[in-house]
């Protein structure tokens, strides 16, 4: 794979990984005795491994292939495989964490295995590890196909993909050591945050450079969704992680914000992470792979534009609905609530658009589990955005907040929407990417689909029941005006739901393992096939990127 790099590119890669080794060594030296030191060793090992991986091929002959004749798919392939590995790890951690709630002895009494440490490994593992890698990999695929142009160079995509994974590894290992900023979905400490900024800027520049080389005048809507994902996540990440390190030789830092401003900044980040990490990029997947798989153009291109800008304009205000009944000014809460309800318009425009695209091709949905993944994902997207708008209404939030209902809502979105659209896209993508006729086992795709759907439904119903029970118990008063139930009473009432939740998660995990196995077998066992299509537009026929008149 590294033999496809030119000599100059191999040199650049070795300089970058060599610099990584030095940075890791420096972190290990100055951070000795602090978790930062351990992170230094991790950075060093990661960079050294890649250094030798490239170095091993440095004297190979220059690649002879004609770059203009094919897309650059090596990083996409690796990204898909890494995403599936993170899916198994992240969801496995989820099952463990859920089981700890049902059977607390599963903590095993170690510091690193306590709930507060492995829960962020689960959330970051699935959101950033699985979701992030799936987004980066599919974006590499889609940006090239919709532009009909190859990526401008072969080092940047590797830098983005592997740099992002270094961030994920530093984050996850930090949680186990107790390193955290205590900000939801933004737990990693300052040096990991700084590194992610570098990677993310490289990602944005790579995307723009590819678009600048395009042979297709119109920038297809999926690209807009991916670009919003990259750009807005950069802004959110930088602002929310503004912090002053307690010392340059340790992991601890203090937020630049205080009190309710800190909370507001965090949830402005947190909710827009849901919008732009967990929605926008995955809508990009939906708008590309669903029409592609169904072999039908999207029902309404106009609606896709409307919902894109709707998401951009409305989501920005919605974060304050996480802070109802707090010290946050009442009008800011009301504003967040109003915009959250308005969000129904762009959300349902996308969900409806996806379903209307399939209208008239339901026989394909019936026969093709891959398309069914995408269809059910669109349904769950519609359901969870409706639920989200509903829960953002202040009195509803009074019942739902701090209960398992919130957890159920998040998982309806994360499992039902984000994971299903990702798996559907991976099944659509893998044969194209590895030049195989089809997936290794369509039966395995069916099994995965039904396990994932059953797991999600069990999970979400368990959490609805548990959350509403919990919320009602917390607000039940006796005749003398005291609370009727102690907190422990509510825990006892939750127990059966916690078992059901762990079981639902287990089904989902088994499905993901089957998916990873199926992709691996597709790569190893399926005969290869050279497709007629799927090559960039040749440079001779290159039209100007923006014609004078369309």
Partner 1 sequence: MDIPHDWFVGFSKSFGLFYLIALSIGITIYAFWPSLGNRFDKAAKSILDDEDGPARGEGFDPEDEPCR
Query: What residues are paired with 102 via a beta bridge?
Result: none
Distance CA 260, CA 258 (A): 7
Q: Is the dihedral of CA 204, 206, 209, 214 positive or negative?
A: negative
Indicate whether 109 belongs to the interface with partner 1 (CB under 8 A): no
Distance CA 460, CA 404 (A): 10
Q: Give 57 or 364: the residue with its C-beta nearer to partner 1.
A: 364
Indicate whether 148 belongs to the interface with partner 1 (CB under 8 A): yes
CB of 531 to partner 1, least distance (A): 8
Indicate whether 213 belongs to the interface with partner 1 (CB under 8 A): no
170 token code pair: 């530093």
Task: Give residues with Cβ within 8 angstroms of 409, minimum separation 6.
Answer: 384, 387, 388, 391, 400, 463
305, 484, 491, 546: which one binds partner 1 (CB under 8 A): 305
Q: Give 191 or 317: the residue with its C-beta nearer to partner 1.
A: 317
Distance CA 5, CA 15 (A): 14
Indicate whether 335 belongs to the interface with partner 1 (CB under 8 A): yes
CB of 305 to partner 1, least distance (A): 4
Provide φ and ψ at 528, rounded to 5°: -85, 160
Indicate whether 297 belongs to the interface with partner 1 (CB under 8 A): yes
Q: Give 62 or 367: the residue with its C-beta nearer to partner 1.
A: 367
Q: Is the dihedral of CA 387, 89, 268, 351 positive or negative?
A: negative
60, 62, 437, 543: which one binds partner 1 (CB under 8 A): 437
DSSP state at residue 59: T
Distance CA 388, CA 360 (A): 30
Going from the C-alpha of 220 to that of each of 15, 73, 139, 281, 544, the distances in angstroms are 36, 20, 12, 14, 16
Indicate whether 216 belongs to the interface with partner 1 (CB under 8 A): yes
CB of 528 to partner 1, least distance (A): 15
Going from the C-alpha of 350 to that of each of 228, 280, 282, the distances in angstroms are 16, 11, 11
CB of 240 to partner 1, least distance (A): 19
284 token code pair: 């990009």
Strands 243-245 and 253-255: antiparallel
Indicate whether 113 belongs to the interface with partner 1 (CB under 8 A): no
Indicate whether 218 belongs to the interface with partner 1 (CB under 8 A): yes
Indicate whether 533 belongs to the interface with partner 1 (CB under 8 A): yes
Answer whether 161's CB lies under 8 Å from 75's CB. yes
Indicate whether 535 belongs to the interface with partner 1 (CB under 8 A): yes
CB of 297 to partner 1, least distance (A): 4
Distance CA 79, CA 479 (A): 60
Answer whether 16's CB lies under 8 Å from 54's CB. no
Residues numbered 155 to 194 that lie near partner 1 (CB under 8 A) are none
247 C-beta neighbours (distance < 10 Å), count? 12
Q: Which of 426, 396, 336 is nearest to 138 (CA)?
A: 426
CB of 489 to partner 1, least distance (A): 43
361, 454, 493, 510: which one binds partner 1 (CB under 8 A): 361
Q: Give 332 or 513: the residue with its C-beta nearer to partner 1.
A: 332
Provide φ and ψ at 251, rounded to 5°: -80, -25
- Residue 168: CA count within 13 A, CB half-sphere: 25
Q: Give 6 or 537: the residue with its C-beta nearer to partner 1.
A: 537
CB of 419 to partner 1, least distance (A): 22
Residues numbered 252 to 291 that lie near partner 1 (CB under 8 A) are 288, 291
531 C-beta neighbours (distance < 10 Å), count? 11
Only one of the segments 23-31, 171-179, 435-443, 504-512 lies at the binding site for partner 1 (rule: CB under 8 A); that segment is: 435-443
Only one of the segments 46-54, 88-96, 128-136, 298-306 lies at the binding site for partner 1 (rule: CB under 8 A); that segment is: 298-306
Indicate whether 515 belongs to the interface with partner 1 (CB under 8 A): no
293, 322, 409, 501: which one binds partner 1 (CB under 8 A): 293
Q: Give 166 or 298: the residue with its C-beta nearer to partner 1.
A: 298
Indicate whether 51 belongs to the interface with partner 1 (CB under 8 A): no
Only one of the segments 34-42, 186-194, 220-228, 406-414 lies at the binding site for partner 1 (rule: CB under 8 A); that segment is: 220-228
Indicate whether 532 belongs to the interface with partner 1 (CB under 8 A): yes
**Residue 531 Cα to chain centre, angstroms:** 30
Residue 90 burial by Cβ neighbours in a 10 Å radius (0-12, 13-18, 19+): buried
Angle at 334 between CA 331 and CA 338, to 5 degrees: 140
Q: Give 427 or 498: the residue with its C-beta nearer to partner 1.
A: 427
Distance CA 320, CA 329 (A): 10
125, 129, 132, 310: which one binds partner 1 (CB under 8 A): 310
302, 443, 475, 525: which one binds partner 1 (CB under 8 A): 302
283 token code pair: 């809508």
**Residue 194 Cα to chain centre, angstroms:** 19
CB of 292 to partner 1, least distance (A): 6
164, 190, 207, 314: which one binds partner 1 (CB under 8 A): 314
Indicate whether 106 belongs to the interface with partner 1 (CB under 8 A): no
Indicate whether 292 belongs to the interface with partner 1 (CB under 8 A): yes
Indicate whether 362 belongs to the interface with partner 1 (CB under 8 A): no
| Footprint on this chain of partner 1 (rule: CB under 8 A) | 145-146, 148, 216, 218, 220-222, 288, 291-293, 295-298, 301-303, 305-306, 309-310, 313-314, 316-317, 331, 335, 339, 361, 364, 367-368, 371, 431, 437-439, 532-538, 541, 550
């Amino acid at each position: 794979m590294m033999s496809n790099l030119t000599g100059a590119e191999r040199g650049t890669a070795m300089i970058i990984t060599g610099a990584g080794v030095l940075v890791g060594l420096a972190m290990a030296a100055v951070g000795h005795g602090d978790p930062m030191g351990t992170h230094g060793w991790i950075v060093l090992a990661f960079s050294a491994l890649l250094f030798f991986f490239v170095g091993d091929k440095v004297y190979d002959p220059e690649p002879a292939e004609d770059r203009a004749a094919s897309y650059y798919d090596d990083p996409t392939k690796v990204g898909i495989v890494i995403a599936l590995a993170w899916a198994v790890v992240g969801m496995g951690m989820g099952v463990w964490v859920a089981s700890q709630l049902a059977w607390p002895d599963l903590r095993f009494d170690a510091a690193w295995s306590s709930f507060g440490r492995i829960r962020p490994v689960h959330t970051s593992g699935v959101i950033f590890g699985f979701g992030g890698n799936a987004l980066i990999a599919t974006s590499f695929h889609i940006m090239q196909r919709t532009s009909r142009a190859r990526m401008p160079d072969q080092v940047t995509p590797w830098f983005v993909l592997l740099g992002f994974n270094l961030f994920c590894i530093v984050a996850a290992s930090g949680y186990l050591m107790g390193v955290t900023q205590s900000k939801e979905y933004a737990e990693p400490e300052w040096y990991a945050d700084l590194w992610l900024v570098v990677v993310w800027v490289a990602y944005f520049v790579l995307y723009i450079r590819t678009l600048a080389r395009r042979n297709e005048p119109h920038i297809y809507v999926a690209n807009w969704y991916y670009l919003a994902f990259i750009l807005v996540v950069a802004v959110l990440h930088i602002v929310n992680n503004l912090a002053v390190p307690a010392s340059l030789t340790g992991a601890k830092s203090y937020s630049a914000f205080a009190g309710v401003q800190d909370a507001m900044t965090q949830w402005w980040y947190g909710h827009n992470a849901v919008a732009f990490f967990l929605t926008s990029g995955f809508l990009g997947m939906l708008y590309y792979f669903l029409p592609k798989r169904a072999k039908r153009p999207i029902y309404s291109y106009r609606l896709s534009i409307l919902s894109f800008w709707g998401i951009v304009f409305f989501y920005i205000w919605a974060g304050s609905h996480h802070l109802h009944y707090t010290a946050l000014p009442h009008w800011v809460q009301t504003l967040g609530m109003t915009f959250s309800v308005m969000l129904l318009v762009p959300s349902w425009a996308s969900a409806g658009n996806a379903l209307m695209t399939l209208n008239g091709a339901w026989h394909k949905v019936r026969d093709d589990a891959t398309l069914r993944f995408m269809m059910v994902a669109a349904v769950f997207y519609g359901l969870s955005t409706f639920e989200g708008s509903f829960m953002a209404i202040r009195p509803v939030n009074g019942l739902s907040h701090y209960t398992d209902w919130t957890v159920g809502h998040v998982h309806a979105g994360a499992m039902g929407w984000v994971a299903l659209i990702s798996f559907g896209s991976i099944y659509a993508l893998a044969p194209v990417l590895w030049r195989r006729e089809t997936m290794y086992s369509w039966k395995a795709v069916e099994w995965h689909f039904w396990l994932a759907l059953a797991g999600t439904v069990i999970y979400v119903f368990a959490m609805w029941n548990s959350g509403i029970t919990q919320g009602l118990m917390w607000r039940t008063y006796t005749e003398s005006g005291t609370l009727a139930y102690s907190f422990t009473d509510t825990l006892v009432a939750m127990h059966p739901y916690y078992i059901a939740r762990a079981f639902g998660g287990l089904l989902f995990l088994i499905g993901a393992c089957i998916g990873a196995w199926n992709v691996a077998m597709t790569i190893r066992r399926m005969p290869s096939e050279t497709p007629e299509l799927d090559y960039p537009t040749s440079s001779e026929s290159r039209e100007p990127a923006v014609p004078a008149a369309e």
